[in-house]
A and B are shown apart, each in its own frame.
Chain A
Amino acid sequence: MSAPEQCRIIFRHIDEPGYSNDLACYVRHGGYEILKKSVAMKPEAIVDEVKKSGLRGRGGAGFGCGLKWSLLDRKSGKPVYLIVNADESEPGTFKDRYIIHQDPHQLLEGIMITCFANNVKLAYIYIRGEFPHGARILEKAIAEARAANFVGPNILGTAYGCEIYIHRGAGAYICGEETGLIESLEGKRPNPRIKPPYFPAVLGLYQCPTIVNNVETLCHVKHIADMGGEAFSKIGTPGNTGTRILCVSGHVQHPGYYEFEVGKITMGQLLNDVCGGPLPGRKFKAVIPGGSSAKILKFGERFKGKRKVGAEMVDYDWGVEDVPMDFDSLGMIGTMGGSGGVIVMDDSVNMVEALANINAFYAHESCGQCTPCREGSLWMKKITSRMVHGTARTEDAALLKSVADQIPGRTICAFGEACSWPTQSFLAKFGDEFKQYPETKKAAKPAGALELV
């Protein structure tokens, strides 16, 4: 079965010739009409539509967006803040960049609708420091929108007003974590906060109730407000509604970003039909389906079990190529949809070296606050690094596993999971390669193999 057509909702105008990121172009294409419609609605009604839509957060965890909003402490009398998480930093993910660069007003419209729905008067876009150009584009877009009365006081002649400001990060993956991001925005070291008691919905920015949503998620809100929650929920598959932007990188013919209805495309269709298959003369070896922290999948392995289709439970028996690219299916086979970053590795890649590359990233990005992560990510890096650069010892594979196994669930924030899942899954799927690595290392590298650490 060949791949379905892309369903470009959010990326509708990305790379469209003649489409520019200024307000005039956006308005020509019907921009801010949905905001106009929304401010005439009751805020609660918009929240209801988002709940009905079944929209799940696109940042990584796939948490229900409507549910997240409904957890907000609205009785405290304190202001409610929205923080737009544009700290896109999960390796393998590069969707927000294009929204910000090419269609910033789409994001702003989504933000304003979200703010109106949740009575937010002040929103921040936390954009990663490595997007200086993106930050400037957003600044300009906000200024345009403010001048046109889409942002700022009394928008569109209503009593409602909301400001949006840009806040630039400075090179810290941990700021993608909600509470680390909040600390960073408060001007402190971005150490994630301990939960309880610091759930952002209750004690977020400045100890006020706060929503933190991903860029892609907020763009979806605009389209939900447009088409209604019910219509949106019909896109994609039940429980995995809407579209998903899949970012493919690594060893495929056509890496890039593709927007599909969630769950309507399989990994095989994506990599072979959409991305043109492996590079000439190579074979797919492994793929990380949802950003570098997602557990790796090995081509050739099979996944069997029962899953719910409609009201029924049906058997499934999938190869990697057969897995539908949705939150639940990827979850069922032990990995995750995460941030939608698909990293493909072919048979030229040595998995020990690939893991050493990933471990160096996580050791560099650990905030250092809690023991298992600070010391554990360091040791995972040190052990894989000494495998590659020093004397690889056969027992190191077991040692590495024991380090990785003791991190998830023990840390203050989800970075613990993010940093240990690669090691756990690489060892589980490619254990032999780790055991044989002392021998592999002695042999010459295969032709075309690149240095990874």
Chain B
Amino acid sequence: MSNDKDDDSEFIVRFRNGNIDAFNEVYRMYYNAIYLFANALIHSEMEAQDIVTESFVKLWRLHPNLESLPNIKAFLYLATRNACFDYLRNLKRHNASYKEVLYLSKESPNEIEFEIIKADYYNEIALQIENLPKQCAEVFKLIFFKGKKTFEIAEHLGISNKTVLAHKRNAIINLRSALLRKSMLPLILLSLLPTIVSLLFLSPFTNPTTASDYIFIIF
């Protein structure tokens, strides 16, 4: 999520001029979102991958015509949505009514918007993890996905406990999302999380400082 307007416009110029690196940047920025979106519509990981590849190819075919990152994102979602509908329509022709029900419910405009919101969101979460330094990301994933303990991780990766803890601290510092950071915390705090989240939710202005301080002190 680049907020720097100058970076964006120079980047867009390169993209429109056919710079492959700029295209690769776009790919990295949006792949996760488009893939999750496609999969949410058609529930087939293999098919979704093919549809996403096609969407990026279509994007490239039109690259001189796209004027901004929001434009590019919108195009990718639109191309993907249409490809997914075509796929589902094809399925419908060959399959029974079960698929039909799924298809119809996904066609309602709100559903599509919700899937886009969710895809955007998880994309950003995934990018935050991807942007961690390599071994730090590995440690994070072992804790987050597999719930491994420090000594287990140290053994698995062939590093010291100290290094694992250093990576955990690094992850907390570098991960912007509080939801990701909390996974680095000891189990005691996890059970308190619903309280913390609803505290954040109900306050008229989000009051980050208090919550973070609270989490850090305990840790």
Tell whether A pairs with B: no
- B residues near A (Cβ < 8 Å) are none
- A residues near B (Cβ < 8 Å) are none
